[in-house]
């Protein structure tokens, strides 16, 4: 069975997922990617190293939120996949290309939409915004009120139509059932897959590192892993360190990642006098190198948006402090069990929570064990691939 993925790029962690999906099940994975790296944003690491699936490269055209491959119809005729897994920006253009639509019908190709979906409004929320005349479609204030209402009503109808076109949905978060269900998508068509790096590989790496030399966790070392972009709020994490150091002078910070904010963050560190206790390690993508950093820390903190780095940190037994990330944290971080949630955007509350965790070292060790347990038994690469496979079997039957 051939399954074609569109819109996932060649991001290193998703490559591992596609490799595992192909290996675990009777599936031939194809990945359609843009020649110019397509949807990848600043700081996103892409690679073809260790890829076991077939990569198809083609020219891509992007316009606003939508992206399309002009040669998609011919690619489908040549490869004849049974299933396409596609993200929303590509789904829209796919459904408005007559050649693609005709090819889908002729070859009986099934469609699955892949999404987080983070901050996608429900049908009722959209209706409330229309009633309140809020500008969720952008600034339409110069138009007459009745025109704005019609446009927003048409947008709502379009969303209902769009979300009901796929044969199934695969979502990272539980809210997917409620969100897409509100647009009339039947519950059996919505699969909550969650998201995961290759936790089997991470477990092997952790065992190897622990056997090679007993890792020493620095008791007050905080680590952040993620792109250095504004919405990760690494600046807020840095700004709360002086407050934490007043109570725990040995507190130090390791920042792993690359991105457009790196220089500004380094300037902030200098301004706060934290040069000697802050390390910018750059982008670390090799599992063993990342594992050494994670095993040397005692606490993982993500101050803003993010997601998969939480799985990485938990796989190496770290307690987690986070707020609103991308929705996946709700299943991973059990407040008081393997970490804590702080008030979104509140640096004072973040500092308070870090100090509270550092104040109870024995509880930190219990949280460490609980993080490892959740990855081992609840959310890992095998649970995710199994749910994808269930979605595939569903659309084919």
Q: Which residue has the higher pLDDT, 47 or 52?
A: 52
Q: Which residue has the higher pLDDT, 142 or 208?
A: 208
For the entire predicted model, the pTM comes to 0.91
Q: Which residue has the higher pLDDT, 254 or 128?
A: 254
First to last CA, the chain: 13
249-278 pLDDT, tens digit per residue, is 999 999 999 999 999 999 999 999 999 999
Confidence of residue 344 (pLDDT cuts 50, 70, 90): very high
- Residue 146 pLDDT exceeds 90: no
Q: Which residue has the higher pLDDT, 36 or 85?
A: 85
Q: Which residue has the higher pLDDT, 156 or 355?
A: 355
198 phi, psi to nearest 5 deg: -80, 90
Ordered domains of the chain (ranges, CATH): 2-115+164-196+381-396 (3.40.50.2000), 199-377 (3.40.50.2000)
Q: Which residue has the higher pLDDT, 134 or 293?
A: 293
Q: Name the token pair of 159.
A: 């969303």
The whole-angstrom separation of Cα 34 and Cα 169 is 23
Answer for the pair 16, 380: CB distance below 8 angstroms, yes or no.
no
Instruction: Using the Cα atoms of residue 293, residue 298, residue 303 and residue 309 in order, give the sign of their dihedral.
Output: positive
Closest CA to 290 of 328, 332, 257: 257
SS3 of 356, please? helix
Closest CA to 91 of 184, 5, 215, 12: 5
User: How much is the mean pLDDT over the chain?
Assistant: 92
- Residue 130 pLDDT exceeds 90: no
Sheet holding 299-301, edge to edge: 278-282, 252-256, 221-225, 299-301, 320-322, 339-341
Least confident of 62-66, 220-224, 288-292, 367-371: 62-66
- DSSP annotation string for 35-47: TT-TT--TT--B-
Q: Which residue has the higher pLDDT, 213 or 290?
A: 290
Q: Name the token pair of 22.
A: 């192909």
**Can you tell me the mean pLDDT for 62-79?**
89
């Amino acid at each position: 069975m051939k399954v074609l993925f569109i819109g996932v790029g060649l991001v290193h962690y998703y490559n591992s997922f596609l490799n595992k999906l192909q290996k675990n099940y009777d599936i031939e994975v194809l990945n359609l990617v843009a020649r110019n790296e397509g949807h990848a944003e600043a700081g996103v690491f892409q690679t073809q190293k260790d890829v076991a699936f077939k990569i198809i490269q083609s020219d891509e055209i992007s316009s606003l939120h939508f992206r399309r491959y002009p040669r998609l119809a011919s690619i489908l005729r040549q490869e004849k996949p049974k299933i396409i897994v596609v993200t929303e920006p590509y789904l829209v253009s796919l459904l408005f290309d007559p050649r693609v639509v005709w090819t889908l019908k002729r070859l009986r190709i099934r469609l699955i939409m892949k999404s987080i979906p983070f901050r996608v409004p429900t049908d009722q929320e959209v209706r409330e915004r229309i009633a309140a005349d809020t500008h969720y479609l952008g600034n339409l204030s110069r138009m007459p009120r009745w025109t704005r209402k019609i446009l927003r009503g048409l947008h709502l109808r379009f969303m209902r139509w769009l979300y009901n076109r796929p044969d199934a949905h695969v979502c990272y978060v539980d809210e997917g059932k409620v969100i897409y269900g509100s647009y009339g998508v039947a519950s059996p068509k919505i699969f909550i897959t969650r998201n995961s790096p290759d936790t089997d590989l991470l477990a092997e790496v952790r065992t190897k590192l622990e056997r090679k030399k007993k890792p020493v966790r620095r008791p007050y070392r905080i680590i952040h892993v993620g792109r250095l972009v504004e919405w990760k709020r690494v600046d807020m994490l840095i700004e709360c360190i002086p407050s934490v150091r007043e109570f725990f002078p040995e507190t130090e910070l390791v920042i792993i990642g690359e991105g457009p904010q790196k220089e500004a963050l380094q300037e902030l560190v200098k301004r706060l006098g934290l040069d000697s206790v802050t390390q910018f390690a750059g982008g670390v993508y090799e599992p063993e190198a990342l594992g050494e950093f994670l095993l040397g820390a005692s606490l993982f903190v993500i101050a803003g948006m993010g997601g998969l780095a939480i799985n990485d940190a938990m796989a190496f037994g770290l307690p987690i402090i986070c707020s609103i990330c991308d929705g996946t944290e709700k299943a991973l971080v059990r407040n008081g069990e393997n970490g804590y949630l702080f008030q979104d955007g509140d640096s004072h509350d973040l500092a308070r929570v870090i100090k509270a965790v550092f104040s109870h070292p024995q509880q930190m060790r219990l949280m460490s064990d609980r993080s490892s347990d959740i990855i081992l038994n609840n959310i890992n690469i095998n649970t995710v691939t199994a749910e994808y496979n269930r979605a595939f079997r569903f659309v084919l039957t």
